[in-house]
Structure 1
Amino acid sequence: MDQIPINLSKVKVFCSDLDDTLLDDNQKIQPYTKMMLQLLLKSGIHVVFASGRSPDSVSKYTREIQSQEIPSDNQDIPIIALNGGFASVQGIKPYKATLKEDIILKSLEYCEKNNYCIEFYSDENVIISTKDSQYHQYHKNLVGVDGILMSYFEMRQFCLSKPPAKFLICEDPPLIQNKIIPDLSKYLPSTSRILVTKPCFLEVLPSDTTKANALEWLQKCGLSYCPANANEAAKHAAQHILSWTNTQDCVGKLINQIFFDNKYDIGSLSKTIL
């Protein structure tokens, strides 16, 4: 990786995406990376986790990092969840965005007409349509939350009384690219935005809600990296491409290199360091 021409003493915040970056393919933070995050917090740098996952799914990873050895004023790890539709700092929720009624009605109408699997987060649960696709099973395994089945009618009633932050349509990748995206681009109101977060996941969000799906924040932040396994769009947006993947402690190795001058390699770092 290139040498970094920046004064790292000015860096105050380190922000990481979860899936395919901080987490390995088993949805775990590897021990080395976990300890490097703890060292970073101990040094006074703030750490933020950002994800399209639900707040509860993101928060369980912040709890893994917390340690009594970290100064009390830097124990908390703020989270950005639901693609920017939810933010929390020290348990306080300063921001939460939800879908407008017209987006709710049109999204559900479209999925019901075409019998597509649609789901959304409600508190700690995932609510799914009665079409339980193979991709929902994949999503359930990904976030570790069992889904609650509802009919499209039940979903409509529920969402109008308690609007969700986003919808997730789970279907075959070719179907998403060739039909659903063109359809929704014309059908949904301008107050919505759609994005593909994985080939089988299309998300519907309010137009002003975004954690930037990892692209804008890679372009606009002071210093940006993506792992070797990132998609081409992310690699194009990032200032630097790491030589390590999410299964090779890419986040931990990055922290070690740019903040600690390679002081802590995997072989020398033990669990007793904190």
Structure 2
Amino acid sequence: MSSYKLVALDMDGTLLDDNLKISARNKEKILRLVKEGIHVVLATARTFKAASYYAKELGLDIPIITYNGSLIKEVITGKVIYSKQIINSAAKEILTIGEKLNVYTKVYINDVLYVEGEAEEAVSFSQKHRISYKVIGKLSENINDDPYMIVFKDHKEKINKAIEYLNNSISLPISFTLSTLNSLEVMDKGVSKATALECLTNELGIDRNEVIAIGNSLNDYEMISWAGLGVAMKNSDKQLLDKWDIISQYDNNKDGISHVLDKYCLY
């Protein structure tokens, strides 16, 4: 019998292989845990629509954590457990910074991706993640709702400059993290996968020491730090591997998830 009651899994680079598939072995292991009463939660920067596709494939009826912790929503009922969005005035200020630096910017509002102009990146991303996108022109002028997340994706030098600007804008009520050195993700203040996971476990009456969290990117660092057992995937970004000691034996293309769960969950 396992002492763990909940497993939180990042998706891209963790649960999913490089072809964005869940392996048969990983799926079998997850379904076995669910059958034994262990909660399995997806915790991702993806939109709810993109994440729920995989949750439905697994047959999970638990809420999933999306937009890096900005939204927790039940797959079956659509019930919102937790929701924090960037207030519009702050969003416009962030978008103005992006425009000043000429950084490629994506805005996420209610499962729709908003971009300034047509770009191959938007087309391929929307197809890959099964979401729609809208071209609306200058974002700082035309975004009038509260986004769940704003993403700057560009050369590392531009991203570092954007971080510098955001750090100097101390009045902005935001949090931000890196998924890669080229991708900066901005959310409302206090939002992270860790804070969302804490909210969900409180809802379920589960202690943090009863949680396993597994991820592969810097945006997973707080989550694996918060959990009773945090594991970084073998294929994790170097910046995460440099910070973390417990590393999976196998990567995301070799059933890394199932091997970790075989080791720590006795089912």
TM-score range, shorter chain: 0.7 to 0.9
The equivalent of 2:64 in structure 1 is 79
The equivalent of 1:256 in structure 2 is 262
User: Is the Cα contact below 8 Å between 1:135 and 1:200 reproduced in 2?
Assistant: no
- The aligned amino acid for 2:141 is R
1:88 aligns with 2:88: no
1:48 aligns with 2:30: no
Alignment of structure 1 residues 220-259 onto 2, 5 Å: 220-238=226-244, 240-259=246-265
Report the alpha carbon displacement of residue 238 of structure 1 after superposing the two structures with TM: 4.2
Q: Give the match's secondary structure for 1:18.
A: coil
1:63 aligns with one of 56, 61, 78? 56
1:13 aligns with one of 6, 12, 20? 6
Q: Give the match's secondary structure for 2:61.
A: coil
CA distance in 2, matches of 1:16, 1:199: 21
1:149 aligns with 2:135: yes
- The aligned amino acid for 1:184 is L
Q: Which runs of 5+ in 2 are unaligned?
A: 195-218
The equivalent of 1:37 in structure 2 is 30
Task: From the CA coordinates, give the structure whose radius of gyration is larger.
Answer: 1
Q: Give the match's secondary structure for 2:2.
A: helix
Q: Aligned pair in 2 of structure 1 residues 233, 92: CA closer, same or farther (>3 Å)?
A: same
Q: Give the match's secondary structure for 2:54.
A: helix
TM-score, reference length from structure 1:
0.79
**Cα deviation 1:138-164 (Å, max 9, x = unaligned):** 6435423342111115x634x33x211
Report the alpha carbon displacement of residue 188 of structure 1 after superposing the two structures with TM: 6.1
Q: Which runs of 5+ in 1 are unaligned?
A: 1-7, 67-74, 262-274
Q: Give the match's secondary structure for 1:254.
A: helix
CA distance in 1, matches of 2:127, 2:243: 29
The equivalent of 1:119 in structure 2 is 106
The equivalent of 1:140 in structure 2 is 126
Give the length in aligned residue pairs: 241
User: Is the Cα contact below 8 Å between 1:56 and 1:124 reproduced in 2?
Assistant: yes
Q: Aligned pair in 2 of structure 1 residues 85, 96: CA closer, same or farther (>3 Å)?
A: same
1:201 aligns with 2:183: yes
The equivalent of 1:98 in structure 2 is 85
Q: Aligned pair in 2 of structure 1 residues 127, 30: CA closer, same or farther (>3 Å)?
A: same
The equivalent of 2:207 in structure 1 is none
User: Is the Cα contact below 8 Å between 2:112 and 2:132 reproduced in 1?
Assistant: yes
Report the alpha carbon displacement of residue 80 of structure 1 after superposing the two structures with TM: 0.4
The percent identity for this pair of structures is 24
CA distance in 2, matches of 1:171, 1:194: 15
**Cα deviation 1:101-157 (Å, max 9, x = unaligned):** 33112112222333332112222321111263x65456435423342111115x634
The equivalent of 1:164 in structure 2 is 147
- The aligned amino acid for 2:81 is P
CA distance in 2, matches of 1:258, 1:183: 42
User: Is the Cα contact below 8 Å between 2:115 and 2:136 reproduced in 1?
Assistant: yes
Q: Aligned pair in 2 of structure 1 residues 206, 172: CA closer, same or farther (>3 Å)?
A: same
User: Is the Cα contact below 8 Å between 1:83 and 1:209 reproduced in 2?
Assistant: yes
Alignment of structure 1 residues 206-221 onto 2, 5 Å: 206-212=188-194, 213-221=219-227
CA distance in 1, matches of 2:118, 2:78: 35
User: Is the Cα contact below 8 Å between 1:218 and 1:239 reproduced in 2?
Assistant: no
CA distance in 1, matches of 2:136, 2:97: 16
Q: Aligned pair in 2 of structure 1 residues 191, 245: CA closer, same or farther (>3 Å)?
A: same
